[in-house]
Amino acid sequence: MADTYQKSMMDTLYWWGIPTMFRCPNQGPEGQDIALVGVPHSTGNGTTERDQHLGPRALRDVSAVARRAHIGFGLDPWQVAKIVDVGDVPFPRANDNEDCIEQITRFYRQIDAAGARPVSVGGDHSITGGIVQALGCGQITGGVPVCFLHLDAHTDVFTKVDHFLGAKKSAAHWGAYLADQGRADPQHSMQIGLRGHARTLDWLQPSYDYGYNVVTMKEFRKRGIEDVVAQIREVMAGRPVYITFDLDCLDPTVAPAVSNLEPGEKGFDIDQAVALLHAVRGMNIVGGDVVCMMPTKDSPNRITALTASAIMFEMISMMAETVGNGAGG
């Protein structure tokens, strides 16, 4: 008993031991419910803001101090679900974005075949494209496209440019090409929190053209969170949900270390973001990701990495709860 207690105390010390996500065992996805994955990829953003590939290491380092139990759910996710850290996607040609996206897809096809639901940390937002190329219409979804709960300051449906500084399947394009492939269902997807500094007056038009349900930050404040949550639940009910969370949807005071800061308009506070995530609680969540962390820009207290781990914990807890209830398959 004493040894168990002492280990539980040591496990909360982020500087002690071998860092895995939330102290989970490092092993393959076979026979597991949830697979935690690092995707250390930066070349899909196409800019000099390249250290997003350090995000998985930063989150692994601090996640030991994250919450172990979800008081609001009355749930210990680590007890009700089999959860492992499967490691990082390998990128032998890390500066070649198109090769990296295909490496991601190959890696996640193995996870999908194993029946584990992935929760990932990036990496820039292009990783969502590689992941959903594997999960959309895959085994976990039952052969149908995913529906996105997409929290972001930007649409990532920028069809008016062929590439983003050389990257074709870029952080700016996945929302379009996944719909073109039939891997994602825009009409039952939500894009919430958009407030990016527009370069053209029609910057939202591609999302509307594809049929995404768009809630800009201004609309969110006008409508209120309860109304938006009700829309999420109506639009996504009964469908396989994939959560993609760009940390730049948060206000810069909450998450300062992101790749594309949007200081001109207030973003979500953490309570608002978590409440929006909880809108899909109890639904068939087939996976999720947290993207666009810039560890070299973080505060000394590493608040952005800690915030990313908190968001990831919410995703894990919702998925574990579904597993524990024997539903969602």
Query: What domains can be seen in the chain, in order of their start residue?
Result: 2-324 (3.40.800.10)
pTM metric for this prediction: 0.95
Least confident window among 7-16, 50-59, 76-85, 139-148: 7-16
Q: Which of 93, 111, 112 is nearest to 41 (CA)?
A: 93
Mean residue pLDDT across the chain: 93
Cβ partners under 8 Å of residue 173, min gap 6: 126, 129, 156, 157, 158, 159, 163, 164
Report the alpha-carbon distance of residue 150 to residue 202 in Å, rounded.
20
Q: Output the pLDDT for position 208.
A: 97
Q: Lowest-pLDDT range, 49-58, 158-167, 213-222? A: 158-167
**Is the pLDDT assigned to residue 115 strictly greater than 90?**
yes
pLDDT of residue 150: 98
Residues 57 and 18: their CA atoms lie apart, in Å, by 12
3-12, 216-225, 227-236: the lowest-pLDDT one: 3-12
Give the pLDDT of residue 154.
94
Q: Which of 112, 37, 31, 76 is nearest to 312 (CA)?
A: 37
Indicate whether 2 pLDDT > 60: no
Q: Please tell me the least confidently modeled range out of 83-92, 155-164, 198-207, 254-263.
A: 155-164
pLDDT digits (tens, 9 = 90+) for 304-321: 999 999 999 999 999 999
Residue range 227-250, pLDDT digits in tens: 999 999 999 999 999 999 999 999
Please give the pLDDT value at position 172: 81
Report residue 168's pLDDT band, with 50, 70 and 90 as the boundaries. confident
48 pLDDT more than 60: no
Say if residue 329's pLDDT is above 50: no
- In this structure, how many other beta carbons lie within 10 angstroms of the beta carbon of residue 124? 31
Asked if the model's pLDDT at residue 67 lies above 80, the reply is no
**CB-based contacts of 30, cutoff 8 Å, min separation 6:** 114, 116
What gap in Å lies between CA 261 and CA 248, rounded to an integer?
6
Mean pLDDT, rounded, for 111-128: 97
Residue spans of beta strands (DSSP E) within the chain: 34-39, 83-88, 117-122, 147-151, 190-194, 213-216, 241-246, 285-291
In angstroms, rounded to a whole number, what is the distance separating the alpha carbons of residues 116 and 328?
A: 12
- State how far the alpha carbon of 227 is from the alpha carbons of 19, 48, 85, 109, in Å: 40, 39, 36, 36
pLDDT tens digit sequence for 179-209: 999 999 999 999 999 998 878 898 999 999 9
